[in-house]
Amino acid sequence: MPDAAVAARSSETTNSGTTQQVDVAVVGAGFAGLYLLHKLRKAGFSVVVIEEAGDVGGTWYWNRYPGARCDIQTIDYSYTFDPELDRAWTWSEKYATQPEILRYFNFVADRYDLRRDIRFDTKVKAANWDDTRERWQLATDNGPSISCRYYIMATGCLSAPKPPEIDGVKDFKGAVYFTGRWPHDGVDLTGKRVAVIGTGSSGIQSIPLIAEQAAHLTVFQRTPNFALPAHNGAPPDDRKSYFETDRAAYREQARWSLAGVPYPQETAVSWQLSDAERRERFEKAWAAGDLVHILTQLWADQAVDFDGNALIGKLIHEKIHAVVKDGETAAALSPHDHPFGAKRPCLDTNYYATYNRPNVTLVNLRQEPIKAITASGIVTDKRSVGVDVIVFATGFDAMTGAIMAVHPITGRAGKSLSNVWAQGPQTYLGLTVAGFPNLFMITGPGSPSVLSNMAVSIEQHVDWVVDRLAALRDTGFTTMEATETAQAGWAQHMADCSTLTLHRLANTWYTGANVPGKVQGLMPYTGGVGPYRSICNEVVGRGMLGFKLTGPNVAEQCNDGEVVRLQPDVRLVLGMLAEMNLPQIESLGSQGARDFLTEFNKGRPAGRPVGEVGSGALQGADGPLPYRLYRPATPGPHPIVVYFHGGGWVLGDELSDDPFCRDLCRRSGMIVVSVGYRHAPEHRFPAAAEDGYAATSWIADHVAELGGRPGPLLVAGWSAGANIATVTCQLARDRGGPQIAGQLLVCPVTDCRYDRQSYADNAVGYFLTRALMFWFWDIYCSPADRTDPRASPLRGNLANLPPAFVATCEFDPLRDEGIEYAEALATAGVPVEQLQARGHIHSSLVMVDVVITGVSARAKMAEALRGFAGLPRKLETSGEDAAPIAVNAAAG
């Protein structure tokens, strides 16, 4: 059916009495509402859009302040759903102005004849779910109320301006303007004394232009923001040519990217780059004038690691001081209270240089808070500033403001959304709320929304929602509602994601901190646009997981559950591995598997620097063995940790867990000696176990030579290495030494039984498979030997062993034998600390700087080692080297 015919049929609505009856009511005629209307019509639904404004455009209808522009390149900030529309419009600038963007929305509205289904100048005041009729009833302030099956709030994340918090605004006799509600016919500020309150994006965009007009401009700044030069002009050639060469590929890459703009994932980490290399990258980004470039393309750890991030902050501070002539003003403009990118940085044109103008003054509200607004101006602790005009650039009650302004929204059993969200917004996927059937939000809290190119996120949300409504209709269902389990799971996943980035370390409008009294918590989804899209798709692929569907003539369907139980970065790693289509390790033969591992490890981030790395040979059970020693940068002597690598007694060597050894060394402040013990099949059981014991004995005899602290050693290991570590403890007890003060066992192999639940639950799909464990055991140890405690330490005598820290991972075949070992140690009277890492796989905790969500576990492991060594559990952090890790650990 041609589009026009579909539209004509689907837009039929009926007014019964004073109620307009439609299939779907959409609130908002901005980017989201317009696309919703078009897509819903095409899908054959009758639709009405309610819009408070007098015309289309949403954000771009309201925000007409001087200098208003987008800060995502307009080539990317456009609709992509219709390739013909995409070709029909060409942007004149890299960052289009508000008038041009508004012209674009008018063009779109005309092209698809959208206005005839939009009720302008109408506000939705309240919404009520009628359980009997299974419809939403919407009350409006203009014209008939609405009865609809589906209620979609496309009310905008940044559409509810935040009211001023300052006493006396009403007493002010001059003119007051809000950037978010700027008069349509403009404002002439020529010759006026103007105050701008607020230095967020709107302030930073408007201040240079206001300064050009005003007799004097006084800027009242509470929190400085990072601002970068936009270098506006024609769209840059590199992006344009990529775009023009293959528009479809360009758009598709954006859809699966992290921020909704097609940039590759940067892989070089900051500590691999020299100062000069980092500066070169920074200068290039600064010159590019592209927010997403500088936020993602400097180095891989810039958004996830405090240390890597702080490097950028310093470089930007230098830039500010280079431009702003007055040192005190430059210092006040330099942000120090949040990591770069944790709050949305701004793009500017001449912002910092504006403070060199004689007619501009900066008032630092941190030093002199505003006391009051009077009839003639603004009074701070230190001065009184007479002004004719006040411009409030104080931002928005973001993400929830416009939703909560519709009050009440009453769902099933009279539940009010404001009560349900009293402790902060709860959603499933940021799109739906349990207890509120058939209610959808576009870019709601819990979706990537403001942390992305919103054009891409909005299209994804709209496509997903409308496709679901069409599928419901086609299968006879009439209601769709998130379950409490799914919603709680999403909250957990959101919390897990929030440990991935540094957003949690800043008080921002992302967290609600800009609105007094608002419950604080990170509202947008920090897991990225591409991962989010794949999760939404997975919900559908798994039979509408987490939704209850009902209909008059169909059996109710409720496929309950949590869509993501893995840690977000673990999910990404597994997804990448699946895409690589790797061979099954056990099919490669032992040498092939070793070669594979060596190649595989080349792709991981380099380990972080430690004080010194050395290597040598020590005496094993049957000849010399290589070792690698990691020494902290702090003055010694340090306690020594003897470390045994993982690899199923078949793979790996003293170098193969290098990043983890470095991490342990840095976090614990101890020497780590990684031992290259012998492997099967060349050397089968008990070679590895006996080497472990012999190596520990040798190290104990050479502590001074190694620069270690005299006294007992510590042992540690991962996987088969943890097996060797704990076997060493048993042998040391039985053979009269050496003395061991504690054992760190990470995902240990402790037994040869495969009938525990974790072997069934995690047999495949989590990298270490059941088949691979079978293979390792077969190569290492004959069935007859497997019950020997040197192979299966769980079967040995566990009394009088050193205190232990046992870490296990939820999605690991070895999980239950690790837990059982910890419990058995405790039963035998050994002090044990357990860490059961939720959402992690067998290799998570050793994948340093890849699985970021493993940071807190790694910090706890290091603390445990320090405790065993009789040191304060927390490492004294001084200097750049250690402090950032402590920040991550505390928050993780």
Site residues for ligand FAD per CB under 6 A: 27-33, 50-53, 58-59, 61, 63, 68, 70-72, 77, 123-124, 154-159, 202, 402, 405-406, 442-443, 453-455, 458
**What gap in Å lies between CA 272 and CA 461, rounded to an integer?**
38
Query: Shortest distance, CB of residue 454 to ligand FAD, whole angstroms?
Result: 3
Of 258 and 618, the one with the shorter C-beta distance to ligand FAD is 258
**What gap in Å lies between CA 549 and CA 438, rounded to an integer?**
10
Of 154 and 859, the one with the shorter C-beta distance to ligand FAD is 154
Paired tokens of 678: 């012998």
Of 179 and 590, the one with the shorter C-beta distance to ligand FAD is 179
Query: Shortest distance, CB of residue 807 to ligand FAD, whole angstroms?
Result: 41
Q: Is 394 exposed, middle or buried (0-12, 13-18, 19+ CB in 10 A)?
A: buried
Query: Shortest distance, CB of residue 180 to ligand FAD, whole angstroms?
Result: 6
Query: Shortest distance, CB of residue 72 to ligand FAD, whole angstroms?
Result: 4
Query: Shortest distance, CB of residue 141 to ligand FAD, whole angstroms?
Result: 8
Helix axes 454-475, 31-42, angle to 10 degrees: 30
Of 65 and 477, the one with the shorter C-beta distance to ligand FAD is 65
Q: What are phi and psi of 250, to 5 degrees?
A: -60, -50
Query: Shortest distance, CB of residue 703 to ligand FAD, whole angstroms?
Result: 59
Question: What are residue 362's DSSP bridge partners?
Answer: 219
Q: CA-based angle 264:344:575, to the nearest 5?
A: 35
Of 33 and 669, the one with the shorter C-beta distance to ligand FAD is 33
Of 73 and 853, the one with the shorter C-beta distance to ligand FAD is 73
Query: Shortest distance, CB of residue 794 to ligand FAD, whole angstroms?
Result: 55
Of 77 and 477, the one with the shorter C-beta distance to ligand FAD is 77
Query: Shortest distance, CB of residue 452 to ligand FAD, whole angstroms?
Result: 7
Concatenated DSSP letters of 67-107: T-B-SS-TTTSS--S-HHHHHH---SSSS-BHHHHHHHHHH
Of 67 and 892, the one with the shorter C-beta distance to ligand FAD is 67
Query: Shortest distance, CB of residue 153 to ligand FAD, whole angstroms?
Result: 8
Query: Shortest distance, CB of residue 355 to ligand FAD, whole angstroms?
Result: 22
Of 523 and 864, the one with the shorter C-beta distance to ligand FAD is 523
Paired tokens of 618: 């020590």
Residues in the chain: 892
CA 387 to chain CA centroid, Å, is: 43
Of 81 and 600, the one with the shorter C-beta distance to ligand FAD is 81
Of 273 and 405, the one with the shorter C-beta distance to ligand FAD is 405
Task: Please give the helix or strand (H or E) that residue 475 lies within, else none.
Answer: helix 454-475
Task: Please give the helix or strand (H or E) that residue 841 lies within, else none.
Answer: strand 832-841
Per the CB < 8 A criterion, the answer to whether 451 and 259 are in contact is: yes
Phi/psi region, residue 424 (left: phi>0; alpha: psi -120 to 50; beta: rest), is left
Helix axes 720-734, 687-701, angle to 10 degrees: 60
Query: Shortest distance, CB of residue 65 to ligand FAD, whole angstroms?
Result: 8
Per the CB < 8 A criterion, the answer to whether 309 and 339 are in contact is: yes
In 3-state terms, the chain is what percent helix, strand and coil (to 5)?
40, 20, 40
CA–CA distance from 610 to each of 619, 653, 666, 667 (Å)? 25, 20, 6, 10
